[in-house]
Structure 1
Amino acid sequence: MSLNSNIHFSKDQLWNDYDSTGTIADKKIPWVLRNIPPDVKSILDVGCGNGIITNVLNESYQVKGVDLSEAALKQVNCSTVQSSSDNIPLESESADMVFSSQLLEHLTDEQLAGTVKEFKRLAAKYLLITVPHKEFLKICEAKCPSCGHVFNTNGHYQTFDIHRLEQLFGDEYKLVRHDLGGNLHRGYHPALMHIRQNYGNRYFNPPNYTMCPHCNNDSFPLIKGNLISKVCNGLNRVIAPKSPYWILTLFRKKL
């Protein structure tokens, strides 16, 4: 996660409008609750954001939220720690379960390696992790109109499937179960994306609160499609399937 990403996530309005579609409240929270093992009493929620899930967990468990954004933590109802995920100032095995929702994809390779170590250190029994499933990062790439920098508008650096998650955690934790969930999202064929971006000069129109990580520009006027982009999009709708956006994994510490 870049310094400019930290600036982006420090904005109060971003967190006030978080989950405006209700997808997390309606689909993710019940899904997460169903997958918490019955012997869990305490949970460390790393990358808790504004507590949309954390506050619900706190109704039934002893919960501590961890996030780098002070603005996000203002809305968390339980005990919190303001910290990066790769160096959390807590004792080892601080909670029965470490929970993380939509965090790992935002980390650089170095931050991811440190965060994986922290998850393993801090969990006494379980890891419950959700991330985007097989995300094609170029789908959400935008080009900054100010400096020309191309970047993922979600601030995502990593993509995951079950095999990569097992590679990251499987040395010390055994996979108990995994599941796919969330809204269906259509992928994009890499060759068509190459044509759309490089010959059609057509990138993703960013959502509100997008900030260029290179120059901090936050003004992105709507750009209409052209013939090349429309042809690519049409072909893609024919050949690219839809699949659930999230993957959930539950790992248990090996004896």
Structure 2
Amino acid sequence: MEDPTESLKQRRSFFVMGSTQLEISDEDTMDLTAYRNNEQEKTRIADLMRMVPETVKSVIDIGARDGFLSKELTNYCPSVTALDLEMPVIDHPNVRCLKGDATALQFPDASFDLVFCSEVLEHIPSPALEQACSELGRIADQYVLIGVPYMQDIRHGRTTCYSCGKTNPPWAHVNSFDETRLKLLFPDFEVVRINFVGKGEPGTNNLSAYLLNLAGNPFGTYIQEEPCVHCGMRLKPPPSRNLTQKVLTRVAYTVRRAQIPFTPARGNWIHVLFRKRGVNPEKEKHAPATCGLSAKLGLHPSRSDA
């Protein structure tokens, strides 16, 4: 990512959502429609749908948000339940909308053939994270399908809350995940398949992160809908920087650029299909693996650890 210092002079900022760079003005907010139409987001969603086993008849979408993925899931499963902290509003005859908390799901054990959870776990701090994963596993009769950013460096893209003064991780992502951590969160399940999608944004380093904190984190993800993880207030755009903050910003980006050539390539997202131990896999079917951007990076787009 190039040093965006000059862009701020025109009161425009650059933000990175995964590996997708979006340019916004101070008046802009996150446009989900534009984001859904981004090619990398289309690739991510297509890969998740390919991983849905053909045998499932019922699925619950945890963290349904605007219902986009819930409606996509109706193409692969006849019965979809969409759940979020606020009641989802989804106009589709095969989608049932419910309000609920992933850490305390009001369903009996083994209620759904598939529990689908994408872009949610990175927002849940411990120990609630472990409780949520336990609940997902409890209500799953056969499978759990998880999608999260892969090895995200949550020091990069941080914001400063100008209500409480504290530092926030980008997009309120309080967790970073790799294969090992995900497996540990679902001890009663075995891995059927792991896919890596997209090209991950290079991380940062402690010095650059420290300098940007001193500069007020001027290029963080201020367009996010998620509030401050500390005080709950909506994030406000950063004020104009003084000369010292501008110098700190430039030094921070110079140091970060110097490390990027030595940063290994990695996928932007990791998708893991888990199967409950003891479930008969004989009738299990999936669409062929996608090669896409992960293959171009030299990564393995799909593998089975079962």
Report the TM-score range of the alignment, normalised by the length of the smaller protein.
0.7 to 0.9
2:211 match: secondary structure: helix
What amino acid sits opposite 1:27 in the alignment? T
Greater shift, 184-193 or 211-220, is seen at 211-220
What amino acid sits opposite 1:226 in the alignment? K
Greater shift, 17-26 or 136-145, is seen at 17-26
What amino acid sits opposite 2:138 in the alignment? R
> What does residue 49 of structure 1 align with?
65
**Aligned partner (choices 71, 82, 103) of residue 99 of structure 2:** 82
Q: CA deviation at 1:114?
A: 1.5
Normalising by structure 2, we get a TM-score of 0.70
Q: CA deviation at 1:60?
A: 3.0
**Aligned partner (choices 125, 149, 155) of residue 172 of structure 2:** 155
Q: CA deviation at 1:44?
A: 1.2
Percent of residue pairs identical:
24
Q: Which runs of 5+ in 2 are unaligned?
A: 1-28, 279-306
Matched, 1:40 2:79: no
Superposition misfits of 4+ residues, deviation over 4 angstroms: 222-225
Q: Which runs of 5+ in 1 are unaligned?
A: 1-13
1:53 match: secondary structure: helix
Q: Is the 8 A contact 1:139 1:204 kept in 2?
A: no
Q: Is the 8 A contact 1:65 1:79 kept in 2?
A: yes
> What does residue 146 of structure 1 align with?
163
> What does residue 144 of structure 2 align with?
127
Q: Is the 8 A contact 1:54 1:63 kept in 2?
A: yes
Q: How does 1:169-180 map to 2 (within 5 A)?
A: 169=186, 171-180=187-196
Measured in 2, the distance between the counterparts of 1:253 and 1:210 equals: 32
Measured in 2, the distance between the counterparts of 1:86 and 1:249 equals: 20
Q: Is the 8 A contact 2:110 2:141 kept in 1?
A: yes
2:164 match: secondary structure: coil
Classify 1:190/1:124 alpha carbon distance in 2 versus 1 (closer, same or farther; 3 Å). same
Greater shift, 90-99 or 207-216, is seen at 207-216
Matched, 1:186 2:206: no
2:155 match: secondary structure: helix
Q: CA deviation at 1:64?
A: 0.8
> What does residue 164 of structure 1 align with?
181
Normalising by structure 1, we get a TM-score of 0.83
What amino acid sits opposite 1:54 in the alignment? S
**CA radius of gyration, larger in:** 2
> What does residue 249 of structure 2 align with?
229
Q: Is the 8 A contact 2:90 2:97 kept in 1?
A: no
> Cα deviation per residue 1:171-204 (whole Å; 9 max; x = unaligned)?
2100112121135412112332223324x44444
> Cα deviation per residue 1:93-127 (whole Å; 9 max; x = unaligned)?
11111110011111121221211111111111111
> What does residue 197 of structure 1 align with?
213
What amino acid sits opposite 2:249 in the alignment? S
Q: CA deviation at 1:144?
A: 2.1
Measured in 2, the distance between the counterparts of 1:105 and 1:215 equals: 17
Matched, 1:115 2:132: yes
Matched, 1:244 2:267: yes
Q: CA deviation at 1:25?
A: 5.2
Measured in 2, the distance between the counterparts of 1:160 and 1:90 equals: 27
Q: CA deviation at 1:39?
A: 1.7
What amino acid sits opposite 1:95 in the alignment? F
Measured in 2, the distance between the counterparts of 1:187 and 1:168 equals: 24
What amino acid sits opposite 1:60 in the alignment? Y
Q: CA deviation at 1:27?
A: 1.4
Paired positions, count: 238
Q: CA deviation at 1:145?
A: 2.5
1:75 match: secondary structure: coil
2:267 match: secondary structure: strand
Q: CA deviation at 1:52?
A: 1.1
Classify 1:111/1:237 alpha carbon distance in 2 versus 1 (closer, same or farther; 3 Å). same
> Cα deviation per residue 1:202-234 (whole Å; 9 max; x = unaligned)?
444311546334162543245456122222213
Classify 1:183/1:75 alpha carbon distance in 2 versus 1 (closer, same or farther; 3 Å). farther
Measured in 1, the distance between the counterparts of 2:237 and 2:70 equals: 32
Q: Is the 8 A contact 1:50 1:76 kept in 2?
A: no
Measured in 1, the distance between the counterparts of 2:267 and 2:33 equals: 17
